[in-house]
Amino acid sequence: MSVSEMFAALQGALGQDQDIREEIRKVVQALEQTAREILTLLQGVHQGPGFQHIPKKCQKAREHFGTVRTQMESLKTKFPADQYYRFHEHWRFVLQRLVFLAAFVVYLESETLVTREAVAEILGIEADRERGFHLDIEDYLSGVLTLASELARLAVNSVTAGDYARPLRISTFINELDSGFRLLNLKNDSLRKRYDGLKYDVKKIEEVVYDLSIRGLNKEAAVGEK
């Protein structure tokens, strides 16, 4: 094979790779749009009247996740099944965003932390790496850390809306989350930096709870919970 023939073959391989990336990019753009729609829907819970419509907003978000599952099925067909990590960077960000959104919906519904397996089911992908297109552990953890920041914001807005019990429950949840992350030996630099931000979320929520305590509103919230 001549040098020109060798490089012609290389160009063909490069062209195929570029075609795959372009097809992936189109599906990822659609996923990003759906994620924005879900986020816009859920942001309504931060407003006063939004607390009264949490179940309805969660139900509507669940419907949007049906679209996500369809888009994920399309994404799976765009690249060879054994090359997940070769193209992972293309969908990593949107997948982490979708994990956060799924975790937020589950928290609003039950005030519990969604498992990785449950998130994978919501998104229509696998939890186990061996089974193909899956939810990477680090992507799951990144989404959970985004949830922590969102709940810190929700704690503040709950007080504004006159819901004094919610920040106390959020505080308990976030402290349990922080304890869980402390059990992990995080090596990933990006994930480690995001985890470092969790202490600020904990502090922010503690300040909200402290303010409620000073004003005597935590006792009022405790009575209301009974």
Q: Which tens digit of pLDDT belongs to each residue from 26-57?
A: 999 999 999 999 999 999 998 877 778 899 99
pLDDT over threshold 50, residue 223? no
Going by pLDDT thresholds of 50, 70 and 90, the confidence category of residue 222 is low
pLDDT (average), residues 163-190: 91
Per-residue pLDDT, 139: 95
CA distance 153 to 157: 6
Q: Which residues are annotated as a binding site?
A: 150
Domain 1-135 CATH class label: mainly alpha
User: In angstroms, what CA-CA distances link 51 with 21, 110, 225?
Assistant: 41, 14, 16
State the sign of the Cα–Cα–Cα–Cα dihedral 48, 51, 52, 55: positive
Q: Where in the chain is the domain with CATH 1.20.58.190?
A: 1-135
Contacts of residues 125-134 at CB distance under 8 Å and 24 or more positions apart, as own/partner, are: 125/72, 125/76, 129/84, 132/76, 132/81, 132/84, 133/72, 133/75, 133/76, 133/81, 133/84, 134/84
Going by pLDDT thresholds of 50, 70 and 90, the confidence category of residue 173 is very high
Contact yes or no for 83/132 (Cβ under 8 A): no
**Phi, psi angle pair for 134, to nearest 5°:** -135, 170
Per-residue pLDDT, 6: 84
**Phi, psi angle pair for 196, to nearest 5°:** -60, -30
Report the share of the chain in percent with pLDDT over 90: 69
Among 2-16, 103-117, 140-154, 188-202, the range scoring the smallest mean pLDDT is 2-16
Q: Where in the chain is the domain with CATH 1.20.58.200?
A: 137-225
pLDDT over threshold 90, residue 5? no
Per-residue pLDDT, 226: 47
The fold of the 137-225 domain, in CATH, is Methane Monooxygenase Hydroxylase; Chain G, domain 1 (1.20.58)
Q: Which residues are annotated as a binding site for Mg(2+)?
A: 150
